[in-house]
């Protein structure tokens, strides 16, 4: 079974609300820290839209990075404790680098950060502490910020590396399973029009990053993987320098599954952000 429309309509579905950007006349902006008094953390508005989210479970092996912008992998990590920073960097980083090279055929993988998330009901996302699941439809990088991350992180080799194909791919996996609370939803990149991706400033103390917020469309096709386990992972394409029609940006967000039990364990997950280089 492939991703043709008739096949998608045979998949199990949940209906849930996803938070999309409300169109606005100014550029969206979000501060990652407390700004000056009187300055709001964000100037953007988001609105919940009820959508159908298809369960990938029956066709998980059919999704590809170049077609949908995401893929599902089976991979058992050797990490014993994902709360141990040294073990993440000493064990998880090298195994993730090898995994990405094998799956993508890349010549080089540069892992530039990771985020642990734990859903704490009622708490706000804290970039200096526990990160909550991200509940706004977004893409982590843009046409501009993708190449800029290469220049920021590998300045001495940036122009050489940018002469080949560059991707930014997130590796996302649950730490505990099955995931019932705040699962991750991913949009088929081919169903999202370029004008629906809105460049947005992500303001740090020392730099301004750029992400895409996303405006709604009934054409968007959404997917998740039911009851996801720690030996399963998503690859999520957040940038691709190739402009030949393949997927380049895959919007994603956490969502509340209305069919989940009320006593579902809070979701815990880890995501790695990686620069993936190909010589061509």
Is 274 within 8 Å of 100 (Cβ atoms)? yes
Q: How confident is the model at residue 263 (pLDDT cuts 50, 70, 90)?
A: very high
Written as six digits, the tokens of 41 are 């953390």
pLDDT value, residue 8:
84
Residue 52 has pLDDT above 80, yes or no: yes
pLDDT value, residue 127:
66
Average pLDDT for 14-43: 95
What are the extents of the domains in the chain? Answer: 5-278
Write the class of the CATH domain 5-278. mainly beta
**∠ CA 100-196-268, rounded to 5°:** 45
The residues near 165 (Cβ < 8 Å, ≥ 6 apart) are 240, 241, 242, 277, 278, 279, 280
Find, among 43, 269, 51, 278, the residue nearest to 170 by Cα. 269
Average pLDDT for 243-262: 97
Q: Beta-carbon neighbour count of residue 193 at 10 Å? A: 11
Q: How confident is the model at residue 9 (pLDDT cuts 50, 70, 90)?
A: confident
Residue 6 has pLDDT above 90, yes or no: no
pLDDT value, residue 80:
96
Rounded to a whole number of angstroms, the CA Rg of the chain reads 18
Length of the chain: 280
Find, among 216, 235, 241, 248, the residue nearest to 274 by Cα. 235
Q: Which of 12-16, 33-37, 104-108, 186-190 has the lowest mean pLDDT?
A: 33-37
Average pLDDT for 50-79: 96
> What is the residue-averaged pLDDT of the chain?
94
Q: Percentage of the chain surpassing pLDDT 70?
A: 96
Within the chain, residue ranges assigned H as helices are 5-8, 85-87, 93-104, 145-153, 158-162
Is 176 within 8 Å of 121 (Cβ atoms)? no
Q: Percentage of the chain surpassing pLDDT 90?
A: 90
Written as six digits, the tokens of 243 are 């402009």
Residue 89 has pLDDT above 90, yes or no: yes
């Amino acid at each position: 079974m492939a991703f043709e429309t008739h096949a998608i309509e045979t998949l199990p579905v949940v209906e849930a609300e996803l938070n999309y950007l409300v169109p606005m006349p100014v550029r969206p902006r979000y501060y990652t820290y407390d700004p000056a008094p009187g300055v709001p953390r964000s100037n953007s508005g988001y609105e919940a839209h009820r959508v159908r989210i298809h369960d990938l479970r029956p066709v998980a092996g059919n999704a590809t990075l170049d077609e949908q912008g995401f893929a599902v992998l089976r991979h058992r990590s050797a990490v014993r404790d994902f709360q141990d920073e040294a073990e993440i960097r000493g064990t998880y980083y090298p195994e993730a680098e090898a995994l990405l090279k094998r799956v993508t055929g890349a010549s080089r993988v540069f892992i530039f950060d990771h985020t642990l998330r734990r859903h704490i009901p009622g708490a706000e996302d804290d970039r200096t502490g526990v990160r909550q699941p991200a509940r706004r439809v977004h893409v982590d990088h843009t046409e501009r910020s993708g190449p800029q991350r290469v220049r920021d992180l590998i300045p001495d080799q940036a122009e050489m590396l940018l002469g080949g194909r560059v991707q930014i791919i997130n590796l996302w996996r649950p730490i505990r399973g099955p995931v019932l609370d705040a699962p991750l939803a991913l949009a088929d990149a081919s169903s999202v029009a370029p004008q629906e991706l809105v460049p947005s400033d992500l303001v740090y103390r020392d730099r301004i990053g750029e992400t895409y917020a996303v405006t709604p469309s009934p054409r968007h096709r959404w997917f998740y993987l039911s009851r996801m386990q720690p030996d399963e992972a998503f690859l999520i394409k957040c940038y691709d320098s190739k402009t030949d029609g393949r997927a380049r940006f895959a919007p994603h967000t956490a969502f509340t599954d209305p069919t989940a039990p009320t006593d579902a364990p809070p979701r815990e997950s880890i995501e790695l952000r990686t620069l993936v280089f190909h010589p061509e």
